[in-house]
Amino acid sequence: MTRLLAVFATFSLLAVAVLYYAGVDTIKTLSPQGCRMSWMWPSYILQSHFDHSWTPLARRYSLWLYREGNLENNELHGAPVLFIPGNAGSSHQVRSIASSAANQYFSAPYEVSPEFANKGYKGLDFFAVEFNEDLSAFHGPTIDSETAYAARAIDYILSLYPPNTSILVLGHSMGGVVATALLPNPNISAIITMSTPHSLPPVRFDRRIDHIYADNLKDLASDPTPILSLCGGATDLMIPSESCILPSLAESEANPVYRRTVFTSALEGCWTGVGHLAMVWCHQVRWRVARAALGIAASPTPQTRALLLDRWLRDGHTLPPGHLPSDDLLLHTGEYDVIPSNKHLLVRDPVGTRSYLLQPPVSSDGSSAAKFVLYGSQGYVPPVAPHKPLPFRVSVYVCPEAAACSPLAPTTLKLIPSPIPGSPFPVPDEGTDESEGVVLYEADVFIPSQSRIAVKIEGGDGRGWVFGGFTTGEPVVANLGLAGLLFSSVNIPVPQSIRTEIQLPGLPANALIVYRLTPKYDSDSSCSADALLLPLLTHSSHPSETHYYPLAPFFTRRVLLHSHASGPYVASDYPIGHTLTIHSTGECQINEVELTVDWWASIGRWGTRYATAAACWAVGIVAIILWDLWGIVERGAPIPDVNSSLQFFMRKRMPWLMIGSYCISLVPSRVGIWLGNGGNAALAPLAMILLPITFGLVCVLWWALQILLWPLRLVLGRFGSRREDHTPRRPLTTMTSMGLIFLVIFILVPWQVAFLGCWLIHFFTCAASHVDLARFEQQHPTGAEAIPLVPVYPRPDPQSEAERSPSPHSNLVQVVNAHLHLLLFMTWLLPLAAPVLAVWVRTLATAGSTTPFDGDHNFLYVAPYLALVEALSGNDAERFVIALFTKKERLSPRWGIAALAASAFFVGPRTTYLVFEMASAAMSWMVLGRIGPMYWGGRLAVRRG
631-660 tens-digit pLDDT: 888 888 888 899 999 999 999 999 999 999
For residue 191, the cross-strand partners are 169, 227
DSSP state of 361: P
| pLDDT value for 529 | 78
- Evaluate whether 517 touches 537 at the Cβ level (below 8 Å): yes
| pLDDT value for 701 | 95
3-state SS, one letter per residue, for 604-626: HHHHHHHHHHHHHHHHHHHHHHH
- Evaluate whether 793 touches 877 at the Cβ level (below 8 Å): no
- Select from 151, 154, 148 the least CA-distant residue to 136: 148
On the CB side of 420, CA atoms within 13 Å amount to 11
Angle between helices 174-181 and 207-222 (to 10 degrees): 60
Secondary structure element (H or E) that encloses residue 517, with its range = strand 515-521
On the CB side of 817, CA atoms within 13 Å amount to 27
Angstrom distance (rounded) from CA 275 to CA 239:
10
What is the DSSP secondary-structure string of 866-889?
Answer: HHHHHHHTBTTHHHHHHHHHH---
Angstrom distance (rounded) from CA 942 to CA 731:
10
What is the DSSP secondary-structure string of 674-714?
Answer: TTSSTT-GGGTHHHHHHHHHHHHHHHHHHHHHHHHHHHHHH
Angstrom distance (rounded) from CA 819 to CA 877:
10
- Select from 238, 217, 294, 226 the least CA-distant residue to 262: 226
| pLDDT value for 363 | 65
- Evaluate whether 562 touches 511 at the Cβ level (below 8 Å): yes
Pairing of strands 78-84, 167-172: parallel
List, for the chain, all residue ranges whose pLDDT scores fall below the cut of 50. 722-723, 726, 728, 784-804, 850, 939-945
| Residue 942 backbone phi and psi in degrees, to 5 | -105, 125
Q: Work out the number of other CB atoms within 10 angstroms of the CB of residue 517.
A: 21
Cα torsion for 822, 828, 833, 839, to the nearest 10°? Answer: 130
Q: Measuring CA to CA, how many Å separate 150 from each of 135, 138, 164, 217, 847?
A: 16, 19, 19, 19, 17
Cα torsion for 699, 701, 705, 707, to the nearest 10°? Answer: 80
| pLDDT value for 1 | 52
Residue type at 253? E
- Select from 403, 395, 392 the least CA-distant residue to 452: 403
Pairing of strands 559-561, 515-521: antiparallel
What number of helices (H) and strands (E) belong to the chain?
A: 20, 31
445-499 tens-digit pLDDT: 876 666 889 999 999 999 999 999 998 768 899 998 888 898 899 999 999 889 9
| pLDDT value for 797 | 45
- Evaluate whether 438 touches 378 at the Cβ level (below 8 Å): yes
3-state secondary structure of 737: helix
Angstrom distance (rounded) from CA 567 to CA 671:
9
| pLDDT value for 800 | 39
- Evaluate whether 357 touches 339 at the Cβ level (below 8 Å): yes
Q: Work out the number of other CB atoms within 10 angstroms of the CB of residue 295.
A: 17
Cα torsion for 20, 24, 29, 34, to the nearest 10°? Answer: 170
pTM listed for this prediction: 0.90
268-291 tens-digit pLDDT: 999 999 999 999 999 999 999 999
Secondary structure element (H or E) that encloses residue 415, with its range = strand 412-416
CA 429 from centre of chain:
24
3-state SS, one letter per residue, for 98-137: HHHHHHHHEEECCEECCCCCCCCCCEEEEEEEECCCCCHH
Angstrom distance (rounded) from CA 150 to CA 872:
48
Task: Express the helix, strand and coil content of the chain in percent, nearest 5 each.
Answer: 40, 20, 40
- Select from 646, 637, 564 the least CA-distant residue to 605: 564
Angstrom distance (rounded) from CA 125 to CA 77:
7
Pairing of strands 536-542, 545-550: antiparallel
DSSP state of 239: S
CA 766 from centre of chain:
39
3-state SS, one letter per residue, for 632-654: HHHCCCCCCCHHHHHHHHHHHHH
Secondary structure element (H or E) that encloses residue 560, with its range = strand 559-561
- Evaluate whether 702 touches 824 at the Cβ level (below 8 Å): yes
- Evaluate whether 408 touches 372 at the Cβ level (below 8 Å): yes
Name the burial class of residue 25, with classes exposed (0-12), middle (13-18) and buried (19+) by CB atoms within 10 angstroms of its CB: middle
Go through the chain and tell me how many residues it has.
Answer: 945
